Structure 1
Amino acid sequence: MGSPEAAYRSGEGSPLAVDTAFYDRLAETTEGRELVEGFVLPIRSGRAWEVPAGHLCRISTPEGAQVGDLNIWNRHDPRERLWASRTRQLQSAHVSRHDRLWSTLPFLRPLVTVTGDSLEWYGEDEDGGRVHDLLGTRCDPYVNRMLTGEDFDRHCHSNLTRAVLPYGLTEFDVHDVLNVFQCTGLNGADQYFMKASPARPGDFFEFFAEQDLLCALSTCPGGDLSVPLWGPDARDPIDVCRPLGVEVLRPDPALTAGWRPPETARYAGMHGLTGPG
């Protein structure tokens, strides 16, 4: 018996119909790229940075498996930010090459398009696990306190909160994440599970900025998630924590000739509301 069709489908020419040849050229033509910014994010920390529209951003695992929790905003209006649940519906619960990350209402347009994923080979494992997930969200000190009775200030939510403060944002702007390099799925009881990341030294996840972006990344305090964070077998996973690398790259301008940032959603109604009288 075949699987049901996806609920959210579109016709030719819609924003869901990605010009794969355009993004493949961006991924494959590495000569002419200019490094605009590059840094290594230490373990159990967070950092925010800007990615101009038309640029590429690559997140990598220089020393091996490590999960990163990623937030994305429109640099000029943080009310427009990654909408994880709608991206799950429009794309999939785990994203890879040619998938897009979508923004919140009323904007509803691509923030980024994934151009490269060295873990694309992983596919689905024997437990139904896949990588780069939008199923779960960031670890946070509130849930940790609820589960363990202890405070810990280096959870991804806290790391992201500290990271965005210099940009005038607060804890209220931190939102559901893309878990880069994280392997997750749903078990037989329809419960969320996490497995050890399959990333190796030098693996990467790369995306194209469809508009001016502010990004923030946390090196998860769970490291590669090979050690349980909660429950009877939990212990401090400090030994499996590793840094992440970030590069912002300007592609050869010839590759983006004619490209334009996507427009906001075309719905122009008033939600059924009418004026006085």
Structure 2
Amino acid sequence: MSSTAAFYRPRPGTVLDVDRAFYDRLAADTDGRQPLERFVVPIRSGYAWEVPAGSLCRIVTTREGPQCGDFNVWNRHNPRERLWTSRTRQLQGTHVSRHDRLWSTLPYLRPLLTITRDTLDWYGTDSDGGRVHDLLGARCDPYVNRVLTGEDFDFHCHSNLTRAVLPYGLTEFDVHDVWNIFAVTGINPDGGYFMKGSPARAGDFVEFFAEQDLLCAMSTCPAGDLSVPLWGPDARDPIDVCRPLAVELYRPDPALTASWTPPSTAPYGGGHGLRRPAWPDAADG
């Protein structure tokens, strides 16, 4: 095996073998789907919403132009099952697009969602190694902002997501590493994380199929489309490049999902090598 080959390579027939034809049919049948809801997340804010299993969700740049969104996702009925970005990076890649999945934390380890369409899949890898829809970077937060600038700002993505999930009984301890939608990022030759201005245009979108009942939350990043530095010597307030994002929910034609079932949790059935202690019999005192 080449030293650069992916290390996490499954045997055939696992849940990693995506039925691409199934998801392509869902993506193509736009006439047969039923619109359920549409809303807009204003700039520098956050919002949480539910996506029923078997539904489609589309995140769209509005007519105002490009904007990056920091996205969290949980099992709606069990918030301990949530996006695991590091394992998703290993199973799918550092950036995700059509037919890729977002995977949940242990001990569940199953798909939360599968991407069905991505209008930015043309971007590929640029000359600096940058790609779109990042799983590398953490959400911006007021704690690191205080470290970097000595100032407080309450509308970073971590704070936006924290406010968004409060109505669902969650707190900032439930907010986790994000999927950075519409963001172009990469690692430079020195190992540093870089971000570029988003290539998205009005009407671009990424769409996914909910593999289970989901609670989603998204922050419209206060760095906007990432074309203006948020920190460092050239930093300035990027308010002029901050824009809203729209969210659309659809129910696909029931005939397309008639044979689909939500994925099961990981089938590992062991006890991690633990054994029951040898308690003395009651008769032994």
Q: Same fold (TM over 0.5)?
A: yes
Q: How far, CA to CA, are the matches of 1:181 and 1:4 in structure 2?
A: 27
Q: How far, CA to CA, are the matches of 1:132 and 1:235 in structure 2?
A: 24
Q: Quick check: which has more Rg, 1 or 2?
A: 2
1:130 matched to 2:146: no
Q: How far, CA to CA, are the matches of 1:232 and 1:135 in structure 2?
A: 24
Describe the superposition over 1:67-92 as per-residue Cα deviations: whole angstroms up to 9, x where unpaired. Answer: 00000000000000000000000000
Residues 3 and 119 (structure 1 numbering): CA distance in 2 closer, same or farther, change over 3 Å?
A: farther
Residues 39 and 238 (structure 1 numbering): CA distance in 2 closer, same or farther, change over 3 Å?
A: same
Q: Which residue of 1 aligns with 2:219?
A: 218
Q: Which residue of 2 aligns with 1:41?
A: 41
Q: Which residue of 2 aligns with 1:261?
A: 262
SS in 2 for 1:173: coil
Q: Which residue of 2 aligns with 1:174?
A: 175
Q: Which residue of 1 aligns with 2:94?
A: 93
Describe the superposition over 1:183-234 as per-residue Cα deviations: whole angstroms up to 9, x where unpaired. Answer: 0000010110000000000000000000000000000000000000100100
- After TM superposition, give the deviation of residue 4 of structure 1 in Å: 2.1
Q: How does 1:42-191 map to 2 (within 5 A)?
A: 42-62=42-62, 63-191=64-192
- After TM superposition, give the deviation of residue 11 of structure 1 in Å: 2.0
Q: How does 1:195-206 map to 2 (within 5 A)?
A: 195-206=196-207
The number of aligned residues is 276
SS in 2 for 1:171: coil
Q: What TM-score do you get using the length of structure 1 for normalisation?
A: 0.99
- After TM superposition, give the deviation of residue 39 of structure 1 in Å: 0.1
SS in 1 for 2:173: helix
Please, which runs of 5 or more residues in structure 2 have no aligned partner? Answer: 279-285
Q: How far, CA to CA, are the matches of 1:32 and 1:266 in structure 2?
A: 35
Query: What is the aligned-residue RMSD (CA, Å)?
Result: 0.8
Describe the superposition over 1:43-88 as per-residue Cα deviations: whole angstroms up to 9, x where unpaired. Answer: 0000000000000000000121100000000000000000000000
Q: Which residue of 1 aligns with 2:242?
A: 241
Q: How far, CA to CA, are the matches of 1:51 and 1:118 in structure 2?
A: 21
Q: Which residue of 1 aligns with 2:6?
A: 6
Q: How far, CA to CA, are the matches of 2:159 and 2:37 in structure 1?
A: 24
SS in 1 for 2:90: helix
- After TM superposition, give the deviation of residue 245 of structure 1 in Å: 0.4
- Give, as a single letter, the amino acid of the residue that structure 1 aligns with 2:214: L
SS in 2 for 1:122: coil
- After TM superposition, give the deviation of residue 3 of structure 1 in Å: 6.9
Q: Which residue of 1 aligns with 2:283?
A: none
Please, which runs of 5 or more residues in structure 1 have no aligned partner? Answer: none
Residues 274 and 3 (structure 1 numbering): CA distance in 2 closer, same or farther, change over 3 Å?
A: closer
